[in-house]
Amino acid sequence: MANMICALAMTRELAAIILIAASAVIMLLVVLCGPKNKATAKYNAEIDKEKVAEEKPVEEIAEPVAEEQQEVEETAEENIDVEEVKEEVSEEHVAEVIAEDNAQPAVEAEEVVAEIEEVVPVTLEEPITDEPQQPACSDEPADEVEQEVAAVEVERAKTKLNIPVGKKRTFAEKMLEADEENQAIYNLLKNELMSYKKVSNRLTKVIDIFKHKGAYLAKVGLTGKTVKLHLALDPNEYAVTKYHHQDLGEKKKYEFVPLALKVKSPRSQKYAIELIAGVMEKAGVTKNPKYQQKDYVAEMKANQIPADE
């Protein structure tokens, strides 16, 4: 029993010695390896810092270069876009100008000229005579003298129809003052329109209107020194290169007769007759075989019938 106790005590002491020895060995290893590990870690840290220092300038340089390249590309794209827009705008502008020049109605200018001609007073010069002018009587009041002078000026500034210049003339008055060529064209167009069955006519102050059962067929007007024919036809259905017509459908007074044709030359007169036939065919109106030609200008002058409102 005593031997066993002694053996256990020795075993414990041996185990304690072994633990102490192991602890000493571990501590020795830590002491020996610690500085080396620290030096290695420090060395590795310095190497990492150098690598970072070398890579950072490259990145800093690369970033501005990339940004400059991107700005150059964006500027180039913007320049290309601007050039494309300029080309598109210039092409569109040229196309619009050409279209406006081709479609611009020359009659607008003639209408303005006609209105100016109607408004601008014309002063007729008196023939120069050797007789001395008698001075105005000093006994007459100044107002009466001025009124007499004004009356004389009005009498001087009258047209061949005794219409004072400045007063807006009616269609009939303008037609009676027109030259023989325009009067003949007006007679031609009106006779052609009235030669169809059940066509009604109404002469207004500004234009001559033709209808069939209340529907507009045509209007004949005089703009400046040109007879104008307006027809109830679609201008887009006829070649402008052939008829040289205009589309005035946007104007309210021509919304039912949008196709406008200037009638002057023999060819335009032929086209006018052709287009009138197209209007009548569209409306289902046929020719009146019993119709007799009339001189509407002479009839207008002889009757001196005032135009309708």
Annotate 285-309 with b (16+ C-beta within 10 A) or e (fewer).
beeeeeeeeeebbeebeeeeeebee
Residue 128 has pLDDT above 60, yes or no: no
Task: Please say whether the beta carbons of 246 and 103 come within 8 A.
Answer: yes
pLDDT value at residue 254: 96
Q: What mean pLDDT is reported for the chain?
A: 74
pLDDT computed for residue 71 by the predictor: 57
pLDDT at position 58 is: 43
What was the pLDDT predicted at 94? 44
Measured between alpha carbons, how far is 161 from 21 in angstroms, rounded to an integer? 149
Q: What is the pLDDT of residues 7-20, one digit of tens each?
A: 888 888 888 889 88
CA dihedral sign of residues 6, 9, 11, 13 = negative
For residue 53, the model assigns a pLDDT of 56
List of residues 6+ apart from 200 with CB closer than 8 A:
210, 211, 212
Where along the chain do its domains lie?
Answer: 45-87, 171-303
pLDDT of residue 109: 44
Check whether 120 has a pLDDT greater than 50.
no
Q: pLDDT, tens digit, for every residue of 209-256?
A: 999 999 999 999 999 999 999 999 999 999 999 999 999 999 999 999
Choice among 43-52, 273-282, 296-305 with the minimum mean pLDDT: 43-52
**What is the mean predicted confidence (pLDDT) over 23-47?**
72
The answer to whether residue 164 scores a pLDDT higher than 80 is: no
* Architecture of the domain whose range is 171-303: Alpha-Beta Complex (3.90)
CA 296 to chain centroid, in Å, comes to 42
Closest by CA position to 229, among listed 171, 269, 277, 174: 269
Does position 259 have pLDDT exceeding 80, yes or no? Answer: yes
Which residues have CB under 8 Å from 44's CB, separation 6+?
A: none
pLDDT band (50, 70, 90) for residue 112: very low
- Percentage of the chain with pLDDT > 70? 56
Distance (Å, whole) CA 119 – CA 56: 87
The pLDDT assigned to 137 comes to 44
